[in-house]
Amino acid sequence: MSTAHLPPVPVWDWSIRLFHWSLPVLLALLWYYAGEDMDRHMLFAQLLMSLVLYRVIWGFIGTPYARFGHFVYHPRHIVAYLRASLSPQKPVYLSHNPMGGIMVLVLLGGLLIQAGTGLFATDDIFYTGPLYDYVTGDTAGQMTRWHKQWFYWGMLVLVGLHVCAVLLYRLRGENLVRPMITGNKPAPAAGAADQLPRQQGFPWLRFMITAAIAWGAVEALFRL
């Protein structure tokens, strides 16, 4: 049976896609308003933190392909994938492949560093992060420097690596952008290494609980 007759596999639910495409928009807005309009900068920071917390929780209780347990692999599987990926017939994964799983964790970690340092930062005039009063002035100053430097030497580097990886996979015949728009991936004729049974419907109750926890926790943090 040819792949043309195989139905596409729904992989990325709409919340994962919204999360993914919201990140570059929010990072651009945060950079644009930093030092210009701190009220908006803080609002977008709160939204970004809520989305990151949502993604972390969703990685444990969300849709099957979104769960960390589905795409975070043992080191021996990562090494085996790297060896196999050098061949023309590299393994096919519907979710993130072993290296993609590492990139997800690294990007989430980078976002947490960016947001975490901002919680203690100050512009030395009007605005301070919600946790500024819980540390010394020297610590707040150091956090402020890290917050600014990490964006350029951390986040932008990670984003650049992510884009390069997507382009490299595209050159090798695998389009990673379209599935993150449509949510579907072509069904491989021989089956993917991580293919799961199709999920029936979107778990709206879990979504609403997760979104409420994420927004409520960040809102409470910013009100300290």
- Locate all alpha helices (DSSP H) within 127-192, ordered by sequence: 137-150, 156-171, 177-182
What band does 57 get if pLDDT is binned at 50, 70 and 90? very high
- Please, what is the average pLDDT of the chain? 92
CA nearest neighbour of 197 among 14, 104, 58, 70: 70
Question: Which positions ≥6 away from 164 have C-beta within 8 Å?
Answer: none
Give the global pTM. 0.92
What pLDDT, on a 0 to 100 scale, did the predictor assign at position 88? 74
CA nearest neighbour of 180 among 95, 101, 87: 95
Dump pLDDT digits (tens) for 195-223.
888 878 999 999 999 999 999 999 999 99
What pLDDT, on a 0 to 100 scale, did the predictor assign at position 2? 42
What pLDDT, on a 0 to 100 scale, did the predictor assign at position 224? 84
What pLDDT, on a 0 to 100 scale, did the predictor assign at position 5? 57
Mean pLDDT along residues 111-119: 96
- Distance in angstroms (rounded) separating the CA atoms of residues 121 and 38: 12
What pLDDT, on a 0 to 100 scale, did the predictor assign at position 1? 40
What pLDDT, on a 0 to 100 scale, did the predictor assign at position 3? 44
What is the SS3 assignment for 122?
A: strand
Dump pLDDT digits (tens) for 138-192.
999 999 999 999 999 999 999 999 999 999 989 988 899 999 999 999 877 777 8
CA nearest neighbour of 35 among 142, 147, 115, 138: 147
Mean pLDDT along residues 63-70: 95
Residue 4 has pLDDT above 80, yes or no: no
